[in-house]
Amino acid sequence: MKPFLERLKDEILIFDGAMGTMLYEKGIFINACYDSVNLTNPALVQGIHEAYIRAGVDVVETNTFGANSIKLGAYGLAAQMEEMNARAVDLVKNARATAGREGNCFIAGSIGPITAPGQLWQRRFEESAGAAYAEQARILSENGVDLIILETFVHIEELLFAAERVKSVCALPVAGSIVPLEPQDEDALAATIGKLEKISACPHIEVAGINCGIGPASAAELLERARPHVTKPFLVMPNAGTPRLVDGRTMYMNSPEYFSSYAKRFRRLGADAVGGCCGTTPEQLAEAARGLKVEKAISRRGLTVSVKAGVREQTAVPPAQKSKLGAKLAAGQTVAIVELVPPRSCDLGPVIEKAALCAKNGVDAVNLPDGPRASSRISSLITAVEIERNAKIETILHYCCRDRNVISMQSDLLGAYTAGLRNILAITGDPPKLGEYPSATGVFDVDAVGLCQAIRSLNHGIDLAGNALPQPTAIVIGVGLNPCALSPEYELRHYGDKVKAGAEFVITQPVFNPEALLSFLDAAEVEWGKLPVIAGVWPLTSYKNAEFMQNEVPGVEIPQEIMDRMARAVGKEEGAACGIQIAREMIRAIRSRVAGFQVSAPFGRVELALEILTEP
């Protein structure tokens, strides 16, 4: 098994969820020593571990949060400390073996703070606490854990001290996690971020994190603000949500889908590892693991074509000679594009009529998404061929990596070119989990960068096996761009990879924040030069539509000011009018910096898109 820190560099890892609240739900009294259950009812603890492992988590914590000599002394169990910790590790190992996951599931030795809730950390504790931390870490290490997690610390001084004592007895990676303050104001945010900065600077800690204290929504808000201040991998383990008292029991009412949606959001905000704390369950972690597993498959993957001996690249056709769109972009003329979604049925008549209406109104091309939001629709490739044949307008074919391996990709690309299609937008594709077929698997042999490389290779007369083609293709290569990405630095690097892979034009996600787009373009042009950028424009139709775009469409960020404007619009007509006005404002604000606009036709209402594009 690859070491923990190496795996963490390659992919997001999923930690398990709560142990204490799970034991409570199964009848262990609140005043009991939960660590002693390793000895008194080991089958119960092992069963909880096994449930998390079968849920698909990558890291399981030992049931040793309070299993140090000081905390156990309060129960009169200090003499059993070593046995309790050793047994805890064995229970995870047994659960891992039963679930068949020995080779790909890490064991984290859990160590909690010595101080009690509300108790201040004082230097006079250092001698006894230092010995307790070192002793527990040594036992966990000797029994085979893969890392130590110092979790649920309130006092940063105690956490840093504990990390130093752990490292004095073992060389295992250490994750240091604090209980964050609710990010309700700037002072609370600053206090938590300050602690995380100290963790990030500590030489004895490899992973910084937050756990307990807050639910998923607050954790996402905190992560977004704190991530730029933390240079180390970031672990996020929130509570299930706000607890409620039901018949004398503390219950967490949030669904697995709710927790999973935030787990994916954590990833997009820059988390390197995600898990759960109080109230989270194997069901919630299973849903999160399934969603994140798909997203892990979309990690950046390029493509290397090994050209065979004697094979030489042919000179590629310049974009201006590939298509009408390519020629207009090369000439610096403003382009107008309308996005139409292929139908769910086999009746292409309506979409062809809409495309013909676009052609009649001077639109340069119709943009066709490829299974948007992982939906199953008629093939966008077939739709593009029929539109070009019957509506006499060029298309931009979205082609995503989700559903095909590189063999079928090459077949489709050659087939599309043979059928007369000349403009392709290379995209990675929404993961299946986002759509109506959550059990479907994604292929993702390559991502958008690899797809660009594949098209570029075909344009130079070389297939993906390195063989010479009798005739090169002449496809204009487009790529997507999210100028409002939660991590602009990542998006800028990824955009640069696409440029280097052969991108010739860009279409952005719908723009609702002109300043963010212009700022991104400034940075991109300095770093990677200037490509024709076609700005995406989405005419909102209602506040509900705005909420859907904001919460459900990856890569779309709508400023609160616009959300408020849409909320004030009453009725469908007023909502649509407000959306059109906002779209026109976006166009005016960025017109001087972009090569044109792609306007979506919400709910198939192509007249809205045309109304925006034909504004004087």
Measured between alpha carbons, how far is 516 from 518 in angstroms, rounded to an integer?
Answer: 6
| Residue predicted with more confidence, 432 or 34 | 34
Q: Are 364 and 392 in contact (CB under 8 A)?
A: no
Q: Are 333 and 592 in contact (CB under 8 A)?
A: no
Q: Is the pLDDT of residue 91 over 90?
A: yes
Residue 249: band (very low, low, confident or very high) from pLDDT cuts 50, 70, 90: low
Q: Is the pLDDT of residue 250 over 60?
A: no
Residue 490 confidence (pLDDT) = 75
Residues of the chain with CATH 3.20.20.330: 4-296
Q: Are 490 and 447 in contact (CB under 8 A)?
A: no
Residue 603: band (very low, low, confident or very high) from pLDDT cuts 50, 70, 90: confident
CATH no. of 319-613? 3.20.20.220
Most confident of 62-66, 290-294, 487-491: 62-66
Residue 297 confidence (pLDDT) = 54
Q: Are strands 249-252 and 243-246 parallel, antiparallel or unpaired?
A: antiparallel
Range 573-583 average pLDDT: 94
Residues 4-296, CATH architecture: Alpha-Beta Barrel (3.20)
| Residue predicted with more confidence, 26 or 485 | 26
Measured between alpha carbons, how far is 551 from 553 in angstroms, rounded to an integer?
Answer: 6
Residue 486 confidence (pLDDT) = 62
pLDDT in tens, 530-574: 999 999 999 999 999 998 887 767 668 899 999 999 999 999 899
Q: Is the pLDDT of residue 439 over 90?
A: no
Q: Is the pLDDT of residue 192 over 60?
A: yes
Q: Are 579 and 611 in contact (CB under 8 A)?
A: no
Residues 6+ apart with CB under 8 A from 411: none
Helix axes 156-167, 126-142, angle to 10 degrees: 50
What single string gives the DSSP state of each residue in 42-94? HHHHHHHHHHHHHHT-SEEE-S-TT-SHHHHHTTT-GGGHHHHHHHHHHHHHH
Q: Are 113 and 155 in contact (CB under 8 A)?
A: yes
Residue 373 confidence (pLDDT) = 67
Tokens for 345?
């049925």
Q: Which of 169-173, 219-223, 413-417 has the lowest mean pLDDT?
A: 219-223
Residue 444: band (very low, low, confident or very high) from pLDDT cuts 50, 70, 90: confident
pLDDT in tens, 260-295: 878 888 987 889 999 999 999 999 999 898 878 766
Which phi and psi angles does 62 have, rounded to 5°?
-70, 155
Alpha helices in 143-185 (DSSP H): 156-167
Range 444-466 average pLDDT: 93
Range 114-136 average pLDDT: 91
* Average predicted confidence (pLDDT) for the chain: 91
Residues of the chain with CATH 3.20.20.220: 319-613
Residue 168: band (very low, low, confident or very high) from pLDDT cuts 50, 70, 90: very high
What single string gives the DSSP state of each residue in 469-480? PSS----EEEEE
CA 167 to the chain's CA centroid? 32
Residue 434: band (very low, low, confident or very high) from pLDDT cuts 50, 70, 90: low
Q: Is the pLDDT of residue 248 over 60?
A: no
Residue 547 confidence (pLDDT) = 87
Cβ neighbour number for residue 42 with a 10 Å cutoff? 16
Q: Is the pLDDT of residue 493 over 90?
A: no
Range 154-173 average pLDDT: 97
Tokens for 229?
């201040």
Residue 103: band (very low, low, confident or very high) from pLDDT cuts 50, 70, 90: confident
The strand pairing partners of 335, in sequence order, are: 596
Q: Is the pLDDT of residue 411 over 80?
A: yes
Most confident of 1-5, 37-41, 552-556: 37-41
Measured between alpha carbons, how far is 214 from 277 in angstroms, rounded to an integer?
Answer: 9
Residue 241 confidence (pLDDT) = 76
Instruction: Kindly compute the dihedral angle of the four CA atoms of residues 284, 289, 294, 295, in this order, to the nearest 10 degrees.
Output: 90
pLDDT in tens, 501-518: 999 999 999 999 999 999
Residue 374 confidence (pLDDT) = 66
Residue 309 confidence (pLDDT) = 87
CA 465 to each of CA 306, 311, 500: distance values in angstroms, whole numbers, following the listed order: 7, 11, 20
| Residue predicted with more confidence, 559 or 243 | 559
